[in-house]
Structure formats: structure tokens, C-alpha cells
A and B are shown apart, each in its own frame.
Chain A
Amino acid sequence: MSKGVAITGMGIVSSIGNSVEENLNALLQSKHGISKISSIKTRHIDEIMVGEIDLSNEELIKQLNLPESQNYSRTALLGVVAAKQAVENAGISDINDCRTGLISATSVGGMDMTEKYYYQYLEDETNHKYIGGHHAGDSTHKIAEQLGITDFVTTISTACSSSANAIMLGARMIKAGKLDRVVVGGADCLSKFTINGFKTLMILSDTYCKPFDNDRTGLNLGEAAAFLILESDEIVAKENKKVLAYVSGYGNANDAFHQTASSENGEGATLAMQKAFKVSGILPEQIDYINAHGTATPNNDLSESIAIQRVFGSKIPDLSSTKGFTGHTLAAAAAIEAVYSILAIQHNLIFPNLNFNTAIAETGIVPVTKVKEKQINYVLSNSFGFGGNCSTLIFSKN
């Protein structure tokens, strides 16, 4: 059994903090980041709650020292901040001292600028610099430029499982010997596009989301970015690197059921978890904590619960969804939850599932609702997206 791929650094910005430290503190204090929309001009300002990051674009541009001519979308700005933190955390002084790649994930990309200037572009040239930044690869390209990565740079977009798949690809590339080091993660900012999109699907909660609660009413959207540094065993040994945790297993499967809904029997999710166990070589009973996808939509939480029951039988490990803290940050969700999974391993802690009262009638699963201390060796993290995309990652201490 291989011990997996070493994680040597991480960085994060979310609605509960602009660093790993701040995120950990908020998790420990059960302090969520959900509030009414303040930074986006929308007619739904009073009816929708989101997880916003308390830094304006102007502040981020200043923090990153970007020139006047910059054409960064908010996704790119958040991504660069988190990725730079991760590189610093891993103690990397020269990013090109070995074969380094970047795999990022996003779903909205530069949509925030597109929706802002959509018709104005046709009228005057003021904001034409943003036109080329609409496509999903643009934020990744900018992160690569800021980090100095010039070769292997790509972007994955599989809706809400995107950054799980970025982490998975990175781990596979290290194992295959194609890269020595890879920055993996994802970024998504809030936009009218996603706010209205999820609203039309009628899966937005009008109050704080309640993952795994019988009376859950939908999700809160959020914005975030998080990145991990994965390094080969050779680099870790050569530089005597501190390893935060390992990517021990991973699996992706397709539910092949419906474009936006999960199947009743959680088929795709079950397959993803089973594949992750196969790669990891561990057994379900070795999992100490499940960081669930748990979006708090009626459909997801039931389907995921059933899948968990299928995989774990009657012995379901401690479980929580941290989306009550951050909201659902779409393509970034799996990356920020990877950071939380690693923190769980490092500090032997389980973070609470906020706003839970009553177990789902069909499954009776009760999540952990208060911070819980216990030895954590293995964490399983689920992320599922539109198009039936189901991904599972397993992180380990040793």
C-alpha cells in the first residue's frame, strides 16, 4: 500500500477567513460567514444569503500589487491570493527548481466581468481588456503567471466537483512521474449568473442552509479559493519537507441519471467512494471523519446519505458538512474542504455541521454538530456536481 502523495502546503480565502489560520479559528468557534449579499448589485439582495469574502476587488488588486492595466476577474484575484499562500506555506523559494505544474478549477471563470460589461463592450472600449478574460482558463493562466509556472498548466470544470478533480489529476501526475510538484485547487467568485441560475432551479435557501437536516430548504452560495501543493516523495526527501497530510485515494464516477439531480440510490457517489477506497487500499472502517458534500438541497443530502449507507453499512463514521460555514463555493468547494480535511488531520478535530436539528427521516444520519476532538488518521471528502459528476478524495495522516 503506497502512502499516497504528499501535501506540503495549502492556502485559502473564504467567507470565514483570508488565511488557513483564520479559517481554522472560525471553524473552532462555529463562526459562519453567511450574510445577505452586499457586494453584488442584484434585485435579490434582501432574499438571498451568501458567503462573501470581505475583501473588495480594489483591496485584492492592491494586495497583489497589480498594475493599472490589469484585467483580473474576481475569480483570478481570489485564486492568486490562495495559490500564493500555498506556495509560501510549502516553503518554496524557486517554483521552477523542479518540474512544477498548475491545475486549477473554476465554474464561473471571468463571468463576473462578462455580466458587468456585456453590452457596454459594444458601446465603448473602456473595458475591452476584460473580453479575453471570460474563458475558464483565464484565471488559471493568471495564477500561473503570478507563480511563475510556465509549462504544465490546465483547468478542469466539472461543476461542483471541479477542484476535487484538479486535486485528483495532480496526485495522478505526481504518481505517474510526469511532475515533481503541482499546485492544485480551485477558485470561484460570486456572480449574478450563478445566483440567478441556482435561484431558477429553486435550490437556494432563503435562510442559513441546514445540511443533513430533515427540514433543509436549499443551499447558500459562497465564493472562495483554495490551493494545495503536492510534491513527489523525492522532493520531500531531498528537501526534508514537512508533510501536512497525504492524498491517499481518489475516485470519479458518473451518476448518468440526470443533468442536475442526483439519483435516488446515490449510484455515482457510491461508485466514486468505492473507487477511492480501491486506490487508497484502506477499508471503510478506517475512515475517522467524512467531510460530506452536504449542500443542504433536499436532493443532494438524501442521495449522499444513501450512498454513504451503501458504502459504510451500519458503521457510519463521524460526518459533517462544512457548507453551513462557507456556503457552497461551487468549483472551489472541494479545495476548501480539502484544506478543512487536512486541518482535521493535523489537529485531530472534527468541525461541526451547523444549523442541524432533525435527522433525515429516510436515513437517520446524525452529523457532528459541535467541535469534536479525536484521533484522525483518514478523512473522506465528497464533492458532486451537475452532469452527474461524483468525486471522492481520501486524505491520510501517514
Chain B
Amino acid sequence: MKNCYINGLGCVSAQKTTESGFLDDIVFYDTNILPVINPNYKEYIPPAAARRMAKGVKMGVVASSLALKDAHVEVPDAIITGTGMGCLQDSEKFVSAIIDNDEEFLTPTSFIQSTHNTVGAQIALGLQCKAYNFTYVHSAISFESCLIDAQMKFNEDEASTILVGGVDEHGKHTNDLHHLIGHIKKEEAGNTDLINSKTEGSIFGEGAIFCTLSDEQTEHSYAKLVDVEIYSQLSEEHLESRIKTFLEANKLSIEDIDLIVLGNNGDLTFDSYYKTIEEGIFKNTQQVYYKHLSGEFNTASAFGFWLASKIIKKQEIPTLVKINDQPKKIYKNVLLYNQYRGENHSLVVLQSC
């Protein structure tokens, strides 16, 4: 087994994550739709090219540039992207154009952009990277599928640096529909007290989070990616035993976990999964969450991955992500757990280098 290190990070989100601080100036929202804080795209993309790019592509290009630069890598040996919905705004644009104009007067631009692998492809095109290029599109485990693939690539001796990321953008019509069916909260909840929400549904966000993974540790490495597993179906009652089995396979016990990063999204019905372990096996472990900062989206767990990597490197936890308050310790082994609406669960273990 080869080691897999996180050597660079880039994050475009609803927080000031492209700036130098570490969640020390939290942006609060009183709506249920959290937009990203747009970086100065001109610094990364020529304006003429940027005009033709979908939002997801622009965010992806910025986050991936940051992640590569952070790791001092110019062109990676593989690009693996996760996205739940791809460039959703273009999909919406093309569907509504088809209906509104009764299939006439259509132009191909939005159809082309709507293809799920557009972000990964545009990054490759920009970098002139002819390497392996995959895109995973499986709801809440899209990003984790990328991590599993990347780990295998290292073991196959096919790569020594891999760009991995998760990206999703807001689509107005889609958000309206998710509001209608209660996947977005009916009332304007905002993000100040999401974890204590007593209603169903969540608040939705968008973002692009990329990391540069490598089989070699550098002095800049954030953490080591130890293992990843995904489960399509998992019941609350089997969650703890599943976690124990996963940890045991990595020669870790519950007590070895110094920090757990949870995907609570304020949905009364499904946050019970997190509650189970917050009050169960990880009762005495420091717990953090992040979806009040990022919003919920298919690849929001990549924001959790970014957060965990930063905490490990800095050995400090931003106050506003803490669920409980355990005495400060060295954060060596970190477990990430996420699921969406009770399906597509993922477990990830990170370790300090």
C-alpha cells in the first residue's frame, strides 16, 4: 500500500476560504440559499474565456489552481472530479429553452456545458493535461468516490500527483423544486443555528473544493489520507458497528479518534444518524460540523475534507464549527462521516503526518 498525502488545498465556498484566514471571519446568512463568495476570477482566468465558462467551471478552475499551487505542482498525473449535478445552470437553461421555444432556436453552448464532466475537462484543457480524467456523479458520495479512485491510482503506480475535487453550483429552478418537496427548509432558517434546527430539510450551498494528493510527503503536507469507504444503504442501528469495523480494518479504535467531522445539515429527520454517534461511541470525542458554513450540496463533504485537513495541519479548531467542547489535544486521527437523507454514507480517516 502506498501512502496518500494531501499536499495542497483550494476552496471556493460561501465562506472567505480563498483568503488567508482560517474561518476567523464567518459569513452569516439569513436565507436558505448560500452563494459562494466569488473570488476575483480575473486573477485566474482571462476575461474572454471566463465569459464562456459556467459558474461551476470557473469555481473549479480557481479551486484547482489554488490546490496545485499550494502543492507546487504544475500538471497532475490524473484529474478526478466529483459533482452531483454538473453545470446545473446550463442544464436548466437548455431544458427551459427547449420547452419555452418548442425545440426551436436553440444554441449548443448550454448543452455542451451541461455535460457532467465539463469541469474536469475544462481543467484538463487549461492545464493541457492529457492524463486520466474521471468524473463521479453519485449524489453525496461523488467526492469520496474520487478519493477511492485516487488511492488505487497510487497503488497501481499510475500517478504520483492527483488533482481531486468536488464541485456543484446552485440552479434556481432546481432549488425551487427542492424547496417545494421540503429538501430545502420551508422557513428561512439561515445558518446561525443550523445544528439546533427542529424542522425538516436543509439549507443549500454551492462550492468547489480541490486538493492535490501525492504519494510523497512534503514539508507542506496537510495530512495523510488513510482510508475511505462508501455505503449506499446503512441503517442507524448498524452505523456504530460499521464505523468500528472500518476503524479496526485500519488498526484504529474509537479511542484513537481525536476528532470527528460530521455532515449535520440541520434536517431533523436525518441528523439523527449523527446524533447516534455524537451521543454514542464518540460522546467523549471532539466533534465538529460545517454545513452551516458551506450549505448542503452533493459535494459539500469535500468542504468537510478541507476543514479536517486544515485543522490537522494547524492543530486548531475554529470556534464556530465545534459541536461540543472537549479539552484541547493533539488532533492526530480524524474521522469524517457524512450522509444525505439517510443514503450514500461515507467514512474517511485522515491522519497527521
Q: Which residues of A contact B (CB under 8 A)?
A: 42-44, 102, 106-107, 109, 111, 114-115, 118-119, 121-122, 128, 131-132, 134-138, 140-141, 144-145, 149-159, 165, 169, 172-173, 176, 178, 192-193, 196-197, 199-201, 252-260, 267-268, 271, 385-389
Chain B residues with Cβ below 8 Å from A149 are 232
B145 and A157 contacting across the interface, CB-CB below 8 Å: no
B152 and A118 contacting across the interface, CB-CB below 8 Å: no
A135 and B298 contacting across the interface, CB-CB below 8 Å: yes
Given A135-B85, A149-B232, A254-B130, 8 more contacts at CB 8 Å?
A135-B139, A137-B142, A152-B230, A158-B133, A176-B156, A197-B94, A268-B130, A385-B117
Chain A residues with Cβ below 8 Å from B344 are 137, 141
Sorted nearest first, the 5 A-B pairs with minimum C-beta distance are A387-B121, A197-B111, A153-B232, A157-B116, A137-B138
Q: Is the interface of B mostly helix, strand, loop or mixed?
A: mixed
Which bucket holds chain B's interface residue count?
35 or more
B134 and A252 contacting across the interface, CB-CB below 8 Å: yes
Chain B residues with Cβ below 8 Å from A121 are 177, 180
B134 and A155 contacting across the interface, CB-CB below 8 Å: no
B130 and A267 contacting across the interface, CB-CB below 8 Å: yes
Chain A residues with Cβ below 8 Å from B234 are 150
Nearest-neighbour CB distance to chain A for B48, whole angstroms, equals: 15
B84 and A115 contacting across the interface, CB-CB below 8 Å: no
Is B193 at the interface (CB under 8 A from chain A)?
no
B134 and A158 contacting across the interface, CB-CB below 8 Å: yes
Minimal Cβ-Cβ distance residue in B for A159? B115
Give the number of residue pairs across the A-B interface with Cβ within 8 Å.
198
A196 and B98 contacting across the interface, CB-CB below 8 Å: yes
Nearest-neighbour CB distance to chain A for B195, whole angstroms, equals: 24
Q: A137-B138, A386-B112 are in contact. Are A151 and B181 (CB under 8 A)?
A: no
Chain B residues with Cβ below 8 Å from A144 are 232-233
- Alpha-carbon gap, A173 to B228, bound state (A): 13
B108 and A150 contacting across the interface, CB-CB below 8 Å: no
Is B332 at the interface (CB under 8 A from chain A)?
no
Chain B residues with Cβ below 8 Å from A254 are 79, 121, 124, 129-133
* Interfacial residues of chain B within 55-85, with CB under 8 A of chain A in the complex: 79, 84-85
Chain A residues with Cβ below 8 Å from B148 are 178
- Alpha-carbon gap, A138 to B139, bound state (A): 8
Nearest-neighbour CB distance to chain B for A160, whole angstroms, equals: 9
B106 and A154 contacting across the interface, CB-CB below 8 Å: no
Chain B residues with Cβ below 8 Å from A150 are 231-234
* Interfacial residues of chain B within 108-155, with CB under 8 A of chain A in the complex: 108, 111-112, 114-118, 120-122, 124-125, 127-139, 141-142, 145, 148-149, 152, 155
Minimal Cβ-Cβ distance residue in A for B104? A43
A193 and B98 contacting across the interface, CB-CB below 8 Å: yes
- Alpha-carbon gap, A259 to B126, bound state (A): 11
Chain B residues with Cβ below 8 Å from A386 are 112, 115, 117-118, 121
